[in-house]
Amino acid sequence: MISGFLVKKGQMTSVYTEAGKRIAVTKCIALPLIVTQIKNKEKDDYQAVQVAYGQRKKLDKSTSTKLNKLKIEISPKGFQEFNLTSDQIPEIGSNISFDSVFTVGEEVDITGISKGHGFAGVIKRWGFKKQPIRGSSDRVRHPGSIGAQTPSKVVRGKKMPGHFGNVNKTIENLKIISINSENNEILISGSFPGHFNSWITITKV
């Protein structure tokens, strides 16, 4: 089967384990993925499965033509490729359910786009401490010196004000707590990047 899955992020809640411990979990909607293409080593130099996820109103002409040839009557939000983890190759047009890829208790890595916070200063963006208020009250939240005299330039990678958030982030070693196949709901331990109803990628560790 494939090495990952795409789910829609929901709200956070908490559940109790069998030992009576309360843990924080994130509820996600894991709708079945539709196989749209099979990549093989002979033609593409690598092996992978392309799947379609989500729903949108309109498609561009090339994508619509491709799906019509495959007799797939959907308007997906996007496409994603996953590696094959077994010799079992799914058929084009077939559905892949979440419980056929992952099991309860399995550890996974989750990748999502973090929330964007716009332009931010060094205190909010990097956690800098404020400067003393005495003497320079208008420089409390400023970064201070940004370089030494010897290089005569600001070195690359210096922590400075700028765009905060809206980047790809991966949280490792989270655990799948439960899988509800009837309602297509899953519970994953902890929190991870992404806003409400955003699409996140779950991959095997």
CATH, residue 81: 3.30.160.810
Task: Give yes or no: residues 105 and 169 share one domain.
Answer: yes
CA distances (Å), origin 135, targets 12, 130, 159: 46, 13, 25
Listing DSSP states for 117-154 in one string gives --EE-HHHHH-PPPPPSSS-GGGTTS------TTT-SP
Q: Say whether both 112 and 129 belong to one domain.
A: no
Helix and strand totals (H; E) in the chain: 3, 12
Tens of each residue's pLDDT in the chain, 205 residues: 899 999 999 999 999 998 999 999 999 999 999 999 999 889 999 999 999 999 988 888 888 888 888 888 888 999 999 998 888 888 998 999 999 999 999 999 999 999 999 999 999 999 999 988 887 778 899 998 898 888 899 999 999 999 999 999 999 999 999 999 999 999 999 999 999 999 999 999 9
Domain count, the chain: 3
Residues 6+ apart with CB under 8 A from 174: 107, 108, 109, 110, 188, 189, 190, 192
Same domain as 44, residue 23: no
Domain assignment of residue 139, given as a range: 120-146
CATH assignment of the domain containing 198: 2.40.30.10
Model pLDDT, residue 1: 84
Predicted local confidence at residue 57, as pLDDT? 86
First-to-last C-alpha distance (Å) of the chain: 15
What span, in angstroms and rounded, lies between the C-alpha atoms of 93 and 83? 17
Q: For tokens 């619509």, what's the residue?
A: 64
- CA dist., res. 111 & res. 199, Å (int): 9
**Threshold 0.75, pTM exceeds:** yes
Assess whether 48 and 70 both reside in one domain. yes
Task: Evaluate the CA torsion angle 153, 158, 164, 169 in order and state its sign.
Answer: positive
Residue 134: per-residue pLDDT: 81
Q: Please report whether residue 156 resides in a domain.
A: no
Q: Are 174 and 107 in contact (CB under 8 A)?
A: yes
Q: Are residues 61 and 129 in the same domain?
A: no
